[in-house]
DNA sequence: ATAAAATATTTAACGTGTTAACTAGATGCT
DNA sequence: AGCATCTAGTTAACACGTTAAATATTTTAT
């Protein structure tokens, strides 16, 4: 059956849930003039080393046109560097630069504190349950509506 | 402990989860030239009758500046009507108009089908679990970081 | 080798998210 | 009444989401 009201629907609840969590982190990011998405790009590059733009898009859940803009501002602020691959002139290699790493390290304690408070209020077990459910949800809906890539077939 | 990697974190998982669900509805909305947010406003007004702008913002999880723009386009397309309250010259009353109701009714079967497929893939029980967890998450984080309104005190 | 198809990224255009500042109308205080 | 304060909504400015189209490069097929 359809969700009767607007409040108990998957899209709305996921939106509100995300907002509830992000509202904790937003002030920290704002103080350092970094957007949510810029921060995700920095973290991905810090975690997974140099990557091409497509990989960053997928890992940070950012669309390519957005990433193009983000790259521009992060390079201007010297948080990342860009280079081209020798064997493929189309691809761009993104790497985190020292100021970028420094920012991540600087914010680490505050991130920790915020995450701890969220966990304390919601409960560590429920966080795990929620993450498991979300992962299952994502996988359950994978590769529908899209032209279906090769991997999804019956491998 | 902090989420080690970018994938298993609450903000990212909530974002991906929402995207997994919304990607099913987006083609339907696109075919009718209605944005996600415009659609939420229409549904809220259809469900809860005439409301002022603040109520719509809260129910549809849309910020006031966005709603101002959305109102403009929905009025132009005659999906809603606006009026002022007699007893309070600041407030705006929003009502759904016949073309708006018609659109909602027209899309109802397709919405149903999409929701059914999501449910079939993910499982009805897990949807309920997820909605319960999200509700708990939202309530657990309520009224933090904000100046703390009167109601939140110790009522 | 060359044209066609595929891939990686960018650009464009429009709508929304987000914060801050602004306007207008309502409330409260003296 | 008159002034400060609060509240509802709008405007402004900038960044991102989203789709479609464009560009450049690589791969595939002939």
Domain locations along chain B: 22-140
pLDDT given for residue B66 in this prediction: 97
Selected residue of A8, A12, A105 to mutate for chain B interface (largest B Cβ count, 10 A): A12
Q: How far is CA B19 from CA A14, A63, A139, B37, B58, in A?
A: 9, 12, 12, 14, 21
pLDDT at B128 over 60: yes
DSSP symbols for chain B: ---SSSSSSHHHHHHHHHHHHHHHHHHHHHHTT--HHHHHHHHHHHHH-SEEHHHHHHHHT--HHHHHHHHHHHHHTTSEEEEE-SS-TT-EEEEE-HHHHHHHHHHHHHHHHHHHHHHHHH-HHHHHHHHHHHHHHHHHTTT-SS---GGGTT-
pLDDT given for residue A27 in this prediction: 93
pLDDT given for residue A1 in this prediction: 54
Query: For residue range B20-34, what is the model confidence (pLDDT) as tens digits?
Result: 999 999 999 999 999
pLDDT at A43 over 80: yes
Residue A144 pLDDT level (bands cut at 50, 70, 90) = low
pLDDT at A142 over 60: yes
pLDDT given for residue A4 in this prediction: 60
State the maximum Cα–Cα separation within chain B, in Å, rounded to a whole number. 56
Q: Does B35 touch chain A (CB under 8 A)?
A: no
pLDDT at B138 over 50: yes
pLDDT given for residue B4 in this prediction: 60
Contact, B90 CB vs strand C, < 7 Å: yes
Contact, B32 CB vs strand D, < 7 Å: no
pLDDT given for residue A155 in this prediction: 33
pLDDT at B80 over 90: yes
Contact, B70 CB vs strand C, < 7 Å: yes
Class of domain B22-140: mainly alpha
Nucleotides of C under 7 A from a protein CB: 7-13, 15-20, 24-27
pLDDT given for residue B147 in this prediction: 42
> Are A44 and A60 within 8 A, CB to CB?
yes
User: How far away is chain B from the Cα of A27, in angstroms, using its nearest Cα?
Assistant: 9
Closest CA relative to residue A79, chosen from A65, A94, A59, A58: A94
pLDDT given for residue A2 in this prediction: 53
Six token digits for residue A155: 């491998």
Q: Does A108 touch chain B (CB under 8 A)?
A: yes
Whether domain A20-141 has CATH 3.40.50.2000: the reply is: no
Q: Does the pTM of the predicted model rise above 0.85?
A: yes
> Are A74 and A109 within 8 A, CB to CB?
no
Going across the sheet that includes B92-96, the strands are: B51-52, B92-96, B80-84
Q: How far is CA A85 from CA A52, A58, A74, A81, A150, in A?
A: 9, 19, 20, 13, 25
Query: For residue range B36-59, what is the model confidence (pLDDT) as tens digits?
Result: 999 999 999 999 989 999 999 999
N-to-C CA span, chain B:
33
* Least confident window among A101-105, B8-12, B62-66, B142-146: B142-146
Six token digits for residue A27: 């002030």
């Amino acid at each position: 059956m359809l969700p009767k009201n607007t409040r108990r629907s998957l899209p709305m609840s996921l939106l509100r849930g995300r907002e509830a969590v992000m509202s904790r982190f937003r002030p920290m990011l704002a103080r350092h003039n970094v957007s949510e998405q810029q921060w995700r790009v920095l973290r991905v590059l810090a975690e997974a080393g140099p990557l091409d733009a497509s990989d960053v898009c997928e890992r940070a859940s950012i669309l390519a046109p957005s990433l193009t803009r983000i790259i521009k501002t992060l390079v201007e602020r010297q948080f990342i560097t860009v280079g081209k691959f020798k064997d493929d002139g189309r691809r761009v290699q993104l790497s985190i630069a020292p100021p970028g790493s420094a920012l991540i390290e600087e914010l680490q304690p505050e991130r920790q504190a915020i995450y701890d408070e969220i966990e304390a209020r919601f409960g560590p077990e429920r966080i795990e349950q929620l993450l498991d459910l979300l992962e299952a949800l994502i996988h359950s809906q994978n590769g529908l509506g899209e032209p279906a890539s090769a991997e999804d077939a019956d491998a």
